[in-house]
Amino acid sequence: MKFGKQLAWEDAKSKRRRLLAEFLQTKAARRAANAQLQETTSENQQTEFQNHQIMKVPHDLLFKIFILLPAESLFMLQFVCKKWFSLINSSAFIRDHSQQSEIVLISQNLTLSGPENNPKSYFHFLDLDQGNHNFIESNVVVLVDVLASCDGLVLATVENKKSLILMNPLTRKHKKLPLGTATDFGFELYGVAFCNDLNHYKVVHLFYEEQGCSGCEILSISAARKWTRMEGPSSELLRYIRRINPVFVGGSLFWISKKHYFISICVESEKFITKSLPAMSSNTKDSRLMEIEGSLGFLSYDEDDNKLQVWILMSDGGLEENWVKSYSIDVNACVVPICSLRNGKEMVLESSRHRLYVCEFDSGKMKLVHSGDQDIELWYQRIEKLYIPHRNTLVSWEDHHEILC
């Protein structure tokens, strides 16, 4: 069995390298075609025309145009001229653009390619709009695994396991962080969150200590010198927490349990709370927490009537919060919710055959965006264990502006 898993892992890495090679080949062909097209036009005339047009476009109009472009395009456009660079890198633009940027899935494993003496590592993305595989070179070869994502920043481990790195995969800007408390129990969870009141990011680490007790520590990115121990969930509560990426909503990180509750931490007060899931939800195996239009959502598949139940945690404006059943969607087979899209009207679902669908909350219509029958790595794992919801943005931990996850 162990040999079979190792063989499957080697096959998965081989497939990822093949997908990367195809992606780079297509990218090189597109670049060559663009270069050939440019040669047919006078370079001086083209440059003069472009500069003239750039100076004529008002700042407000540029802002409205750029806000609609993907972060990958903006990263290249910022170098066209000083005017564009100033606009694209302004706090106001980064804030507004990050709030409307769409969700992708980022692989928890980086892909290595190139000669053995000089390999390059690539982040692997799955586009939920077209189902395409995209890759971005990390420029940090020692990165191994992506642990968590928030606002376009990822927390990753390095090869020697001596430190962590917080990084924006798109801009390639990164910061080295101290490693959290080591554990031999194979259970640890990381979460990254933005603290609005303090205007900086924090990393939360849950783990089991050698004595079998639960442990919790938190790291402020602004200081990034050492972890601070704090009182976390009890060993009994932590034992049933699912090993999936936490959800960040309204200044708190949320982890779902295998039982009938979830735990959360407010990153400002650094206090944990435990709350029950909706009373009518009986199937917690394929249930998920996710952010839906700025609120915490709970989605559960009902096997009896093949319906996906969607609950929203609503507040009455005070301290009271109650689960409200918002949608009941007919589905033909067992599905696992992955994440909601940025518009708050659609969600991504994974079927038992590892196919990804985008489903509308209101109508229940489902659109196939990725067929995983041939593409799924490690057939005994689900996509949600291989990928993490992520947003491509230009955000940096040094940007002092409010970002809403």
Cα 339 to Cα 345: distance, rounded to the nearest angstrom: 11
Residue 42 clears pLDDT 60, i.e. is over it: no
For the ranges 96-105, 118-127, 148-157, 326-335, the lowest mean pLDDT is seen at 326-335
Q: What is the pLDDT of residue 182?
A: 78
Q: What is the pLDDT of residue 50?
A: 53
Give CA separation, 374 vs 353, 354, 355, 364, 377, in Å: 10, 9, 10, 26, 9
Residue labelled with tokens 């990034």: 224
Do residues 227 and 216 lie in contact, with contact meaning Cβ atoms separated by under 8 Å?
no
With b meaning 16 or more CB within 10 Å and e meaning fewer, what string describes 322-334?
Answer: ebeeebebebeee
Residue 25 clears pLDDT 80, i.e. is over it: no
Cα 289 to Cα 247: distance, rounded to the nearest angstrom: 7
Nearest alpha-carbon partner for 301 in 277, 276, 284: 284
Cα 252 to Cα 245: distance, rounded to the nearest angstrom: 13
Categorize the per-residue pLDDT at 3 as very low, low, confident or very high, splitting at 50, 70 and 90.
low
Cα 133 to Cα 207: distance, rounded to the nearest angstrom: 33
Q: Give one DSSP letter per residue of 213-260, joined into a string.
A: -EEEEEEETTT-S--EE-----HHHHTTB-SSPPEEETTEEEEEBSSS
List the structure tokens of 169: 């995969």
Categorize the per-residue pLDDT at 206 as very low, low, confident or very high, splitting at 50, 70 and 90.
very high
Cα 224 to Cα 390: distance, rounded to the nearest angstrom: 23
Strand partners, 357: 349, 368
Pick among 2.40.128, 2.120.10, 1.10.760, 3.40.50: CATH of 103-391: 2.120.10
Cα 270 to Cα 15: distance, rounded to the nearest angstrom: 42
Q: What is the pLDDT of residue 141?
A: 78
Mean local confidence (pLDDT), 6-28: 71
**Which position has the higher pLDDT, 172 or 42?**
172
Encoded amino acid at 151, one letter: D
Q: What is the pLDDT of residue 78?
A: 87
Do residues 306 and 273 lie in contact, with contact meaning Cβ atoms separated by under 8 Å?
no
Categorize the per-residue pLDDT at 35 as very low, low, confident or very high, splitting at 50, 70 and 90.
low
Q: What is the pLDDT of residue 36?
A: 59
Q: What is the pLDDT of residue 205?
A: 94
Cα 233 to Cα 206: distance, rounded to the nearest angstrom: 9
User: Would you tell me how many other CB atoms lie within 10 Å of the CB of residue 161?
Assistant: 10
Cα 196 to Cα 192: distance, rounded to the nearest angstrom: 13
> Which spans in 130-196 are helix H?
none
Provide CB contacts within 8 A for 177, sequence distance 6+: 155, 163, 164, 165, 166, 203, 219, 221, 224
Residue 301 clears pLDDT 70, i.e. is over it: yes
Q: Give one DSSP letter per residue of 337-380, joined into a string.
A: EEEE-TTSSEEEEEETTS-EEEEETTT--EEEEE-TTTT-SSTT
Q: What is the pLDDT of residue 197?
A: 64
Give CATH 2.120.10 domain extents, the chain. Answer: 103-391
Cα 152 to Cα 75: distance, rounded to the nearest angstrom: 13
Residue 314 clears pLDDT 60, i.e. is over it: yes
Task: Identify the helix (H) or strand (E) that includes residue 47.
Answer: helix 43-56
With b meaning 16 or more CB within 10 Å and e meaning fewer, what string describes 175-193?
Answer: bebeebeeeeeeebbbbbb
Residue 290 clears pLDDT 50, i.e. is over it: yes
